[in-house]
Chains A and B, each alone.
Chain A
Amino acid sequence: MSEKVVFWYGCNVVRHGDIIHSSIEILRAIGLEVAPVGGPSYCCGTSKDANLRAADGMAKRTVGKFNDLAIRLAEGGPPPADGTGAAASGAPAPAEPLAAAKVVTWCPSCHRHMNQFMGEYTDPQFPMSHFTQVVHAQRERLRERLVHRVERRVVLHRHFGFREVDVNPLVEDLLRLIPGLELVDSDVSVPGHMCSALVSVPAALKDVTRGVCDLAREAGADTVATVFHSCQRVLCGLEATEPFKVVNYVSLLGEAMGLSLVDEYKEWKLAGSADAVLERIGADRVEELGEAFVREQLMPELLRAPAK
Protein backbone atom coordinates (compact mmCIF):
# COMPACT_ATOMS: atom_id res chain seq x y z
CA MET A 1 0.00 0.00 0.00
CA SER A 2 1.44 3.39 -0.94
CA GLU A 3 1.91 6.11 1.63
CA LYS A 4 -0.80 8.76 1.81
CA VAL A 5 0.06 12.38 2.45
CA VAL A 6 -1.81 15.61 2.88
CA PHE A 7 -0.35 18.22 0.52
CA TRP A 8 -0.94 21.61 2.15
CA TYR A 9 -0.13 24.11 -0.57
CA GLY A 10 -1.43 27.23 1.18
CA CYS A 11 -3.25 30.30 -0.12
CA ASN A 12 -1.20 32.58 -2.33
CA VAL A 13 0.12 29.80 -4.56
CA VAL A 14 -3.35 29.52 -6.13
CA ARG A 15 -2.21 32.24 -8.53
CA HIS A 16 -0.08 29.51 -10.09
CA GLY A 17 -2.21 26.45 -10.74
CA ASP A 18 0.73 25.03 -12.70
CA ILE A 19 2.82 24.95 -9.51
CA ILE A 20 0.06 23.17 -7.58
CA HIS A 21 -0.60 20.63 -10.32
CA SER A 22 3.10 20.00 -11.03
CA SER A 23 3.77 19.48 -7.32
CA ILE A 24 0.94 16.96 -7.03
CA GLU A 25 2.24 15.05 -10.06
CA ILE A 26 5.75 15.04 -8.59
CA LEU A 27 4.47 13.64 -5.29
CA ARG A 28 2.55 10.97 -7.20
CA ALA A 29 5.65 10.20 -9.28
CA ILE A 30 7.55 9.28 -6.12
CA GLY A 31 4.79 6.87 -5.17
CA LEU A 32 2.62 8.88 -2.81
CA GLU A 33 -1.16 9.08 -2.69
CA VAL A 34 -1.95 12.76 -2.34
CA ALA A 35 -4.81 14.63 -0.69
CA PRO A 36 -4.24 18.27 -1.66
CA VAL A 37 -5.69 21.01 0.56
CA GLY A 38 -5.37 24.78 0.55
CA GLY A 39 -7.18 28.08 0.24
CA PRO A 40 -8.85 30.19 2.91
CA SER A 41 -10.44 27.31 4.82
CA TYR A 42 -6.97 25.87 5.50
CA CYS A 43 -5.32 29.25 6.15
CA CYS A 44 -2.64 29.19 8.85
CA GLY A 45 -3.42 32.75 9.95
CA THR A 46 0.11 34.03 9.48
CA SER A 47 -1.17 37.30 8.01
CA LYS A 48 -3.27 38.05 11.08
CA ASP A 49 -0.71 39.72 13.32
CA ALA A 50 -3.11 42.65 13.71
CA ASN A 51 -5.92 40.38 14.90
CA LEU A 52 -4.71 37.68 17.26
CA ARG A 53 -8.19 36.34 17.95
CA ALA A 54 -8.62 35.59 14.23
CA ALA A 55 -5.10 34.10 14.07
CA ASP A 56 -5.88 31.89 17.05
CA GLY A 57 -9.17 30.68 15.58
CA MET A 58 -7.67 29.94 12.16
CA ALA A 59 -4.78 28.00 13.65
CA LYS A 60 -7.03 25.85 15.82
CA ARG A 61 -9.45 25.18 12.97
CA THR A 62 -6.70 24.25 10.52
CA VAL A 63 -4.75 22.03 12.94
CA GLY A 64 -8.04 20.34 13.91
CA LYS A 65 -8.83 19.63 10.25
CA PHE A 66 -5.34 18.25 9.68
CA ASN A 67 -5.59 16.01 12.74
CA ASP A 68 -8.88 14.67 11.43
CA LEU A 69 -7.78 14.33 7.81
CA ALA A 70 -4.32 12.91 8.49
CA ILE A 71 -5.67 10.22 10.80
CA ARG A 72 -8.56 9.33 8.47
CA LEU A 73 -6.21 9.05 5.50
CA ALA A 74 -3.86 6.76 7.33
CA GLU A 75 -6.77 4.41 8.10
CA GLY A 76 -4.80 2.86 10.89
CA GLY A 77 -1.89 2.11 8.55
CA PRO A 78 1.74 2.32 9.57
CA PRO A 79 3.32 5.71 10.22
CA PRO A 80 5.34 7.29 7.46
CA ALA A 81 8.80 5.76 7.72
CA ASP A 82 11.02 7.49 5.18
CA GLY A 83 12.89 9.36 7.85
CA THR A 84 12.16 12.80 6.47
CA GLY A 85 9.36 13.80 8.79
CA ALA A 86 9.63 15.32 12.20
CA ALA A 87 6.55 15.72 14.36
CA ALA A 88 5.29 19.28 14.13
CA SER A 89 6.84 21.30 16.90
CA GLY A 90 4.75 21.27 20.04
CA ALA A 91 3.14 17.90 19.40
CA PRO A 92 3.21 15.74 22.50
CA ALA A 93 5.43 12.67 22.33
CA PRO A 94 3.03 9.85 21.44
CA ALA A 95 2.91 6.66 23.49
CA GLU A 96 2.45 4.72 20.23
CA PRO A 97 3.96 5.69 16.85
CA LEU A 98 1.82 8.31 15.12
CA ALA A 99 -0.59 6.68 12.70
CA ALA A 100 -1.51 9.93 10.98
CA ALA A 101 -0.56 10.69 7.41
CA LYS A 102 2.18 13.22 6.94
CA VAL A 103 1.33 16.83 6.13
CA VAL A 104 3.58 18.03 3.33
CA THR A 105 3.94 21.81 3.24
CA TRP A 106 4.68 23.96 0.21
CA CYS A 107 4.61 27.51 1.55
CA PRO A 108 7.48 28.58 3.83
CA SER A 109 5.19 31.03 5.65
CA CYS A 110 2.70 28.26 6.48
CA HIS A 111 5.54 25.91 7.48
CA ARG A 112 7.11 28.56 9.68
CA HIS A 113 3.81 29.60 11.22
CA MET A 114 3.04 25.98 12.09
CA ASN A 115 6.44 25.58 13.73
CA GLN A 116 6.60 28.95 15.46
CA PHE A 117 3.01 29.43 16.55
CA MET A 118 0.31 26.92 15.66
CA GLY A 119 2.24 23.88 16.81
CA GLU A 120 3.07 25.59 20.10
CA TYR A 121 -0.43 26.17 21.40
CA THR A 122 -2.53 23.61 19.54
CA ASP A 123 -2.20 19.85 19.50
CA PRO A 124 -0.96 18.66 16.09
CA GLN A 125 -1.12 14.88 15.80
CA PHE A 126 0.62 14.56 12.46
CA PRO A 127 4.21 14.58 11.24
CA MET A 128 5.10 17.45 8.94
CA SER A 129 7.77 17.86 6.27
CA HIS A 130 8.43 20.37 3.58
CA PHE A 131 7.82 19.40 -0.06
CA THR A 132 11.52 19.72 -0.90
CA GLN A 133 12.49 17.29 1.88
CA VAL A 134 9.96 14.68 0.82
CA VAL A 135 10.83 14.82 -2.88
CA HIS A 136 14.57 15.00 -2.25
CA ALA A 137 14.42 11.89 -0.06
CA GLN A 138 12.88 9.99 -3.00
CA ARG A 139 14.84 11.69 -5.77
CA GLU A 140 16.12 8.47 -7.33
CA ARG A 141 12.54 7.42 -7.86
CA LEU A 142 11.77 10.81 -9.39
CA ARG A 143 14.82 10.54 -11.66
CA GLU A 144 13.20 7.58 -13.46
CA ARG A 145 10.37 9.87 -14.51
CA LEU A 146 12.52 12.73 -15.78
CA VAL A 147 12.86 11.45 -19.32
CA HIS A 148 12.41 14.61 -21.40
CA ARG A 149 15.42 16.81 -22.03
CA VAL A 150 15.11 20.39 -20.80
CA GLU A 151 17.78 22.32 -22.65
CA ARG A 152 18.23 25.32 -20.41
CA ARG A 153 21.08 27.05 -18.62
CA VAL A 154 19.58 27.77 -15.22
CA VAL A 155 20.54 29.84 -12.21
CA LEU A 156 18.61 29.44 -8.96
CA HIS A 157 17.13 32.47 -7.21
CA ARG A 158 17.92 31.76 -3.56
CA HIS A 159 16.73 33.30 -0.28
CA PHE A 160 18.52 32.56 2.99
CA GLY A 161 15.64 33.23 5.39
CA PHE A 162 13.84 29.87 5.44
CA ARG A 163 15.97 28.60 8.29
CA GLU A 164 13.67 25.70 9.15
CA VAL A 165 14.50 23.84 5.92
CA ASP A 166 17.68 24.35 3.91
CA VAL A 167 15.76 24.31 0.65
CA ASN A 168 18.38 25.67 -1.76
CA PRO A 169 20.73 22.65 -1.88
CA LEU A 170 17.72 20.33 -2.02
CA VAL A 171 16.30 22.16 -5.02
CA GLU A 172 19.71 22.30 -6.69
CA ASP A 173 20.04 18.51 -6.32
CA LEU A 174 16.60 18.07 -7.88
CA LEU A 175 17.41 20.38 -10.80
CA ARG A 176 20.62 18.41 -11.46
CA LEU A 177 18.48 15.32 -12.10
CA ILE A 178 16.93 16.90 -15.19
CA PRO A 179 18.51 15.70 -18.44
CA GLY A 180 19.82 18.53 -20.59
CA LEU A 181 19.57 21.14 -17.84
CA GLU A 182 22.77 22.96 -16.94
CA LEU A 183 22.70 24.44 -13.45
CA VAL A 184 25.07 27.35 -12.89
CA ASP A 185 26.79 27.26 -9.49
CA SER A 186 25.99 30.33 -7.45
CA ASP A 187 26.18 31.28 -3.83
CA VAL A 188 24.17 34.47 -4.21
CA SER A 189 21.41 34.47 -1.65
CA VAL A 190 19.08 37.27 -0.62
CA PRO A 191 17.21 38.24 2.57
CA GLY A 192 13.76 37.07 3.55
CA HIS A 193 12.28 33.60 3.28
CA MET A 194 10.75 34.47 -0.12
CA CYS A 195 10.11 37.60 -2.16
CA SER A 196 6.73 38.42 -0.61
CA ALA A 197 8.59 39.22 2.61
CA LEU A 198 10.36 42.04 0.75
CA VAL A 199 7.27 43.66 -0.72
CA SER A 200 6.83 45.89 2.33
CA VAL A 201 10.42 47.16 1.91
CA PRO A 202 10.35 48.40 -1.71
CA ALA A 203 14.00 49.49 -1.79
CA ALA A 204 15.09 46.00 -0.75
CA LEU A 205 12.83 44.35 -3.31
CA LYS A 206 14.30 46.64 -5.97
CA ASP A 207 17.83 45.64 -4.99
CA VAL A 208 16.91 41.97 -5.08
CA THR A 209 15.19 42.30 -8.47
CA ARG A 210 18.18 44.11 -9.94
CA GLY A 211 20.39 41.44 -8.41
CA VAL A 212 18.40 38.69 -10.16
CA CYS A 213 19.02 40.39 -13.52
CA ASP A 214 22.74 40.81 -12.76
CA LEU A 215 23.02 37.21 -11.61
CA ALA A 216 21.39 35.87 -14.77
CA ARG A 217 23.57 38.03 -16.99
CA GLU A 218 26.81 37.11 -15.22
CA ALA A 219 25.86 33.43 -15.25
CA GLY A 220 24.93 33.56 -18.93
CA ALA A 221 21.68 31.90 -17.87
CA ASP A 222 18.62 31.72 -20.08
CA THR A 223 16.41 30.77 -17.13
CA VAL A 224 16.07 31.97 -13.54
CA ALA A 225 14.50 29.23 -11.43
CA THR A 226 12.42 30.32 -8.47
CA VAL A 227 11.94 28.16 -5.38
CA PHE A 228 8.74 29.66 -4.04
CA HIS A 229 5.50 30.90 -5.55
CA SER A 230 5.83 34.47 -4.33
CA CYS A 231 9.21 34.82 -6.04
CA GLN A 232 7.59 33.50 -9.21
CA ARG A 233 4.76 35.99 -8.76
CA VAL A 234 7.04 38.96 -8.14
CA LEU A 235 9.75 38.17 -10.70
CA CYS A 236 7.94 36.56 -13.65
CA GLY A 237 7.13 39.98 -15.16
CA LEU A 238 10.87 40.46 -15.78
CA GLU A 239 10.45 38.39 -18.93
CA ALA A 240 8.92 41.46 -20.58
CA THR A 241 12.26 43.27 -20.56
CA GLU A 242 14.99 40.74 -19.75
CA PRO A 243 16.60 38.10 -21.94
CA PHE A 244 15.77 35.20 -19.60
CA LYS A 245 12.75 33.16 -18.54
CA VAL A 246 11.50 32.98 -14.96
CA VAL A 247 10.27 29.49 -14.14
CA ASN A 248 9.51 27.74 -10.88
CA TYR A 249 11.66 24.66 -10.29
CA VAL A 250 8.65 22.32 -10.07
CA SER A 251 7.66 23.48 -13.56
CA LEU A 252 11.13 22.48 -14.80
CA LEU A 253 10.74 19.07 -13.14
CA GLY A 254 7.26 18.85 -14.67
CA GLU A 255 8.66 19.71 -18.11
CA ALA A 256 11.15 16.85 -17.74
CA MET A 257 8.26 14.55 -16.79
CA GLY A 258 6.43 15.54 -19.96
CA LEU A 259 3.79 17.68 -18.30
CA SER A 260 2.65 20.66 -20.31
CA LEU A 261 1.24 23.05 -17.78
CA VAL A 262 1.13 26.77 -18.42
CA ASP A 263 1.95 29.55 -15.95
CA GLU A 264 -1.11 31.59 -16.85
CA TYR A 265 -0.38 34.17 -14.20
CA LYS A 266 2.88 34.96 -16.02
CA GLU A 267 1.02 35.22 -19.31
CA TRP A 268 -1.32 37.76 -17.74
CA LYS A 269 1.61 39.69 -16.28
CA LEU A 270 3.21 39.84 -19.73
CA ALA A 271 0.04 40.85 -21.54
CA GLY A 272 0.94 44.55 -21.39
CA SER A 273 -2.47 46.21 -21.10
CA ALA A 274 -5.73 45.76 -19.23
CA ASP A 275 -7.59 44.75 -22.37
CA ALA A 276 -4.93 42.20 -23.26
CA VAL A 277 -5.08 40.76 -19.73
CA LEU A 278 -8.86 40.41 -19.98
CA GLU A 279 -8.52 38.73 -23.34
CA ARG A 280 -6.00 36.23 -22.00
CA ILE A 281 -8.11 35.44 -18.93
CA GLY A 282 -11.01 34.87 -21.29
CA ALA A 283 -14.56 36.20 -21.37
CA ASP A 284 -16.09 33.28 -19.46
CA ARG A 285 -13.77 33.53 -16.51
CA VAL A 286 -13.96 37.33 -16.45
CA GLU A 287 -17.74 37.11 -16.39
CA GLU A 288 -17.66 34.53 -13.60
CA LEU A 289 -15.41 36.75 -11.47
CA GLY A 290 -17.13 39.99 -12.45
CA GLU A 291 -15.36 42.35 -14.82
CA ALA A 292 -15.45 45.25 -12.36
CA PHE A 293 -13.78 43.10 -9.69
CA VAL A 294 -11.10 41.94 -12.11
CA ARG A 295 -10.42 45.48 -13.33
CA GLU A 296 -10.44 47.11 -9.90
CA GLN A 297 -8.94 44.45 -7.65
CA LEU A 298 -6.82 42.08 -9.73
CA MET A 299 -5.64 44.32 -12.56
CA PRO A 300 -3.32 46.62 -10.55
CA GLU A 301 -1.26 43.59 -9.52
CA LEU A 302 -1.29 42.13 -13.02
CA LEU A 303 -0.16 45.38 -14.65
CA ARG A 304 2.57 46.14 -12.09
CA ALA A 305 6.01 45.60 -13.61
CA PRO A 306 8.88 44.52 -11.34
CA ALA A 307 10.76 47.64 -10.17
CA LYS A 308 14.52 47.48 -10.48
Chain B
Amino acid sequence: MDSLRAYLDRFVADTLDRCTRCGRCYDACPMTPYARELDGASPPAVVEGLLPLLQGAPGSTEAVAWVKVCTQSATCIDACPEGINAMLMLRAARMGALGSLGGEAQMSSTEDPLFFRKIEAFAATQLTPDEIEQWHRASPGERSAS
Protein backbone atom coordinates (compact mmCIF):
# COMPACT_ATOMS: atom_id res chain seq x y z
CA MET B 1 0.00 0.00 0.00
CA ASP B 2 1.09 3.52 -0.87
CA SER B 3 1.02 6.47 1.52
CA LEU B 4 -0.47 9.95 1.36
CA ARG B 5 3.01 11.46 1.58
CA ALA B 6 4.37 9.31 -1.24
CA TYR B 7 1.38 10.22 -3.41
CA LEU B 8 1.85 13.93 -2.63
CA ASP B 9 5.55 13.74 -3.41
CA ARG B 10 4.77 12.29 -6.85
CA PHE B 11 2.13 14.96 -7.49
CA VAL B 12 4.48 17.75 -6.41
CA ALA B 13 7.37 16.49 -8.54
CA ASP B 14 5.09 16.28 -11.59
CA THR B 15 3.63 19.74 -10.93
CA LEU B 16 7.04 21.38 -10.50
CA ASP B 17 8.18 19.69 -13.67
CA ARG B 18 5.26 20.82 -15.81
CA CYS B 19 4.13 24.15 -14.40
CA THR B 20 5.23 27.03 -16.64
CA ARG B 21 4.23 29.71 -14.08
CA CYS B 22 1.86 31.23 -16.64
CA GLY B 23 -0.60 32.26 -13.90
CA ARG B 24 -3.79 31.28 -15.73
CA CYS B 25 -4.98 29.27 -12.72
CA TYR B 26 -4.69 32.44 -10.64
CA ASP B 27 -6.50 34.48 -13.29
CA ALA B 28 -9.39 32.00 -13.26
CA CYS B 29 -9.80 32.06 -9.48
CA PRO B 30 -13.01 33.79 -8.30
CA MET B 31 -11.65 34.30 -4.79
CA THR B 32 -8.63 36.56 -5.31
CA PRO B 33 -10.63 39.81 -4.77
CA TYR B 34 -11.15 38.66 -1.16
CA ALA B 35 -7.46 38.97 -0.22
CA ARG B 36 -6.17 42.52 0.13
CA GLU B 37 -2.59 41.28 -0.27
CA LEU B 38 -3.47 40.26 -3.81
CA ASP B 39 -4.52 43.72 -5.02
CA GLY B 40 -2.62 44.30 -8.25
CA ALA B 41 -0.59 41.11 -7.87
CA SER B 42 1.07 39.58 -10.91
CA PRO B 43 -0.41 36.11 -11.56
CA PRO B 44 2.89 34.51 -12.66
CA ALA B 45 4.63 36.00 -9.61
CA VAL B 46 1.98 34.64 -7.23
CA VAL B 47 2.38 31.15 -8.71
CA GLU B 48 6.17 31.48 -8.54
CA GLY B 49 5.80 32.33 -4.85
CA LEU B 50 3.46 29.38 -4.30
CA LEU B 51 5.55 26.55 -5.72
CA PRO B 52 8.11 26.46 -2.83
CA LEU B 53 5.23 25.69 -0.44
CA LEU B 54 4.75 22.38 -2.26
CA GLN B 55 8.16 21.32 -1.00
CA GLY B 56 7.73 22.60 2.54
CA ALA B 57 9.73 25.79 1.87
CA PRO B 58 8.46 29.31 2.61
CA GLY B 59 6.01 30.79 0.12
CA SER B 60 5.50 34.47 -0.62
CA THR B 61 3.02 36.55 1.38
CA GLU B 62 0.83 36.76 -1.73
CA ALA B 63 0.91 33.01 -2.26
CA VAL B 64 -0.13 32.30 1.34
CA ALA B 65 -2.92 34.88 0.99
CA TRP B 66 -4.15 33.02 -2.11
CA VAL B 67 -4.04 29.70 -0.27
CA LYS B 68 -6.10 31.20 2.56
CA VAL B 69 -8.95 32.29 0.30
CA CYS B 70 -9.09 29.10 -1.79
CA THR B 71 -12.59 27.64 -1.42
CA GLN B 72 -12.11 24.79 -3.91
CA SER B 73 -14.15 26.38 -6.66
CA ALA B 74 -12.24 24.29 -9.21
CA THR B 75 -12.24 26.93 -11.97
CA CYS B 76 -8.44 26.76 -11.99
CA ILE B 77 -8.42 23.15 -13.19
CA ASP B 78 -9.86 23.85 -16.61
CA ALA B 79 -7.75 27.00 -16.92
CA CYS B 80 -4.41 25.18 -16.80
CA PRO B 81 -3.01 24.61 -20.30
CA GLU B 82 -0.64 21.96 -18.96
CA GLY B 83 -3.38 19.76 -17.52
CA ILE B 84 -2.23 20.24 -13.93
CA ASN B 85 -4.91 19.88 -11.27
CA ALA B 86 -4.33 23.39 -9.93
CA MET B 87 -6.95 22.96 -7.21
CA LEU B 88 -4.92 20.05 -5.89
CA MET B 89 -1.79 22.19 -6.24
CA LEU B 90 -3.43 24.80 -3.99
CA ARG B 91 -4.43 22.07 -1.52
CA ALA B 92 -0.84 20.77 -1.40
CA ALA B 93 0.38 24.36 -0.98
CA ARG B 94 -2.04 24.70 1.92
CA MET B 95 -0.51 21.62 3.53
CA GLY B 96 2.91 23.24 3.05
CA ALA B 97 1.71 26.53 4.55
CA LEU B 98 0.34 24.62 7.55
CA GLY B 99 3.76 23.09 8.10
CA SER B 100 2.64 19.56 7.20
CA LEU B 101 5.30 19.07 4.54
CA GLY B 102 8.25 19.65 6.82
CA GLY B 103 8.83 23.41 6.92
CA GLU B 104 7.73 26.18 9.26
CA ALA B 105 4.00 26.86 9.38
CA GLN B 106 3.01 30.11 7.65
CA MET B 107 -0.64 29.93 8.60
CA SER B 108 -2.57 28.39 11.47
CA SER B 109 -4.99 25.54 11.13
CA THR B 110 -8.69 26.34 11.27
CA GLU B 111 -9.49 22.83 12.42
CA ASP B 112 -11.75 22.76 15.46
CA PRO B 113 -10.11 20.56 18.15
CA LEU B 114 -13.61 19.58 19.30
CA PHE B 115 -14.78 18.70 15.79
CA PHE B 116 -15.43 15.01 16.47
CA ARG B 117 -16.86 15.64 19.93
CA LYS B 118 -19.41 17.99 18.37
CA ILE B 119 -20.20 15.45 15.65
CA GLU B 120 -20.89 12.84 18.34
CA ALA B 121 -23.04 15.31 20.26
CA PHE B 122 -25.18 16.32 17.29
CA ALA B 123 -25.46 12.67 16.23
CA ALA B 124 -26.78 11.83 19.69
CA THR B 125 -29.58 14.38 19.17
CA GLN B 126 -30.46 13.31 15.63
CA LEU B 127 -30.03 9.54 15.48
CA THR B 128 -31.41 6.82 17.71
CA PRO B 129 -29.00 4.82 19.89
CA ASP B 130 -29.56 1.85 17.57
CA GLU B 131 -28.74 3.92 14.51
CA ILE B 132 -25.56 5.21 16.12
CA GLU B 133 -24.56 1.69 17.09
CA GLN B 134 -25.25 0.29 13.62
CA TRP B 135 -24.26 3.19 11.38
CA HIS B 136 -21.30 4.64 13.28
CA ARG B 137 -19.85 1.90 15.44
CA ALA B 138 -20.61 -1.59 14.16
CA SER B 139 -17.82 -3.36 12.31
CA PRO B 140 -18.49 -4.15 8.63
CA GLY B 141 -19.02 -7.82 9.53
CA GLU B 142 -21.90 -6.89 11.83
CA ARG B 143 -23.74 -4.82 9.25
CA SER B 144 -26.65 -5.54 6.97
CA ALA B 145 -28.68 -3.48 4.55
CA SER B 146 -32.40 -2.74 4.83
Whether the pair A163, B77 counts as a contact (CB closer than 8 A) is: yes
Q: Is A51 an interface residue (CB 8 A)?
A: yes
Task: Return the contact of B121 from the options A4, A121, A298 (Cβ within 8 A).
Answer: A298
| Best-buried of A12, A14, A123 by chain B (most CB within 10 Å) | A14
How far is the CB of A263 from the nearest CB of chain B, in Å?
10
Q: A14-B127, A65-B140 are in contact. Are A47 and B111 (CB under 8 A)?
A: yes
Task: Return the contact of A116 from the options B2, B88, B110, B123 (Cβ within 8 A).
Answer: B88
Interface residues on B, range: 35 or more
Task: Return the contact of A121 from the options B4, B88, B131, B132 (Cβ within 8 A).
Answer: B4
B46-64 vs A, CB cutoff 8 Å, 1 = contact: the mask equals 0000000000000000000
Residues of chain A within 8 A of B101, CB atoms compared: 52
B28-49 vs A, CB cutoff 8 Å, 1 = contact: the mask equals 0011001000000000000000
Whether the pair A163, B74 counts as a contact (CB closer than 8 A) is: yes
A residues at B contact (CB < 8 Å): 4-5, 11-12, 14-17, 20, 33-43, 47-52, 55-56, 59-60, 65, 68-69, 72-73, 101, 112, 116-117, 120-123, 160-163, 191-193, 197-198, 200-201, 203-204, 264-265, 281, 285, 288-289, 293-294, 297-298
Given known contacts A68-B140, A163-B77, A200-B110, what 18 new A-B pairs fall within 8 Å (CB)?
A: A12-B119, A35-B146, A36-B131, A39-B120, A40-B119, A49-B91, A50-B109, A52-B100, A52-B101, A56-B4, A117-B7, A120-B2, A121-B2, A122-B1, A203-B34, A204-B31, A285-B124, A293-B121
B residues at A contact (CB < 8 Å): 1-8, 30-31, 34, 68-69, 71-75, 77, 85, 87-88, 91, 94-95, 98-101, 109-111, 114-127, 131-132, 134-137, 139-141, 143-146
